Amino acid sequence: MTRPALTDAPPRAVAGPPRRTGRPVAPSARRRRFGTLVTITLFVLPALVLFGLLVLAPIAVAAYTSLFKWNGLGGLPTDFVGLDNFTRMFADEVFIGDLRHGALLIVLSLVIQLPLSLALAMLLNQKMRGRAFYRLLFFAPYVLSEVITGVLFGMILSPDEGLANQILSAAGLSSLQSTWLADPDTVMMSLFLVMTWKYFGFHMILYLAGRQGIPKELGEAAAIDGAGSWQQFRYVTLPLLGPTIRISVFLSVIGAIQLFDLVWVLTAGGPIHSSETMAVTMFQFGFKRSQLGYGSAISVVMFLISMVFALGYQRFVLRRDTQGAITSMGDQR
């Protein structure tokens, strides 16, 4: 009878009760967590309350009143009309014109205003005498309020003794004089000129900040490889300015959709609704004509257009930028 072979395998562990992997939380740790939660709640709660009262509540009220025929007086609206206000809106030539005017301003901003701001930012990024003064000079119009800007250009573009017509007359170009803000053929271009003067400095500062965030070593490396100034801008600077440009485009489009102040001060939407925007039409019906239900319907459409654009832009354009920012924050941790 042979004996079983002896092995060097360690003896098997006897099965026993499972061990606890976690330690019980001490009462002091629980109290600290509860205190932290209370502190966060106390800091966040006022902001949430203000957001609910100043943002969510007005949106809900506007959506509710848009379903009624209401002049804003006599308590809550009672004359329910359903979607008649929206049907009336999309059948109104004035509102359709508002959409066309907004689209025109957006296209002109993207094609003229933003490239001009970018070119000026690249110029003022170069070493030159008086660079800080020029930056301040070009940014100064943005500091002025829309009302002051509107009054100022209302005098400059006045058809009688306006500065614009006087300059053209002194230069021997009297044939180019025009009633800038009173002519349906020139009012939108005049309005865009004022918008560009007012806001291009803001976009210039954005681009300038983005340009200064690009390491100089990248441009120097491209120059060593034989890239010229234009090639450095096209293949190095412009791609790295992508996030800044996308934010600038977003702000420009949203601003054009909600434009009110400059239009109201300069033209009040005239002549013959030639410069009217959605915000101006909303104000006209909601506060001037006491048709608050119809004005609320216009505000709801403005909100929906802005929200759809913002969500779509975030989803398809800004998604890569936000993911990169989250990833970089995670790497820093």
8 A C-beta contact, residue 157 and residue 181: yes
- Give mean pLDDT in consecutive 10-residue pieces for the chain, a chain of 333 residues: 49 53 64 88 93 94 94 86 95 95 96 95 91 93 94 91 89 89 93 95 95 90 89 92 94 94 93 94 93 95 96 89 56 52
pLDDT at residue 212, rounded to an integer: 92
pLDDT at residue 173, rounded to an integer: 87
pLDDT at residue 319, rounded to an integer: 83
pLDDT at residue 1, rounded to an integer: 46
Please name which of 207, 208, 178 lies closest in space to residue 193, comparing C-alpha atoms: 178
* CA atoms of 326 and 192, how far apart (whole Å): 37
> Which CATH number applies to 84-323: 1.10.3720.10, 3.30.2130.10, 2.60.40.10, 3.40.640.10?
1.10.3720.10
* CA atoms of 133 and 110, how far apart (whole Å): 27
pLDDT at residue 225, rounded to an integer: 87
8 A C-beta contact, residue 107 and residue 257: no
Give the 3-state secondary structure of residue 68: strand
pLDDT at residue 175, rounded to an integer: 87
Long-range CB contacts for residues 94-97, cutoff 8 Å, separation at least 24: 94/273, 94/276, 94/281, 95/278, 95/281, 95/298, 97/273, 97/276
pLDDT at residue 28, rounded to an integer: 80
8 A C-beta contact, residue 220 and residue 232: no
CA dist 174 to 166, 167, 170, 275, Å?
9, 9, 8, 25
List the chain domain ranges: 84-323
pLDDT at residue 35, rounded to an integer: 85
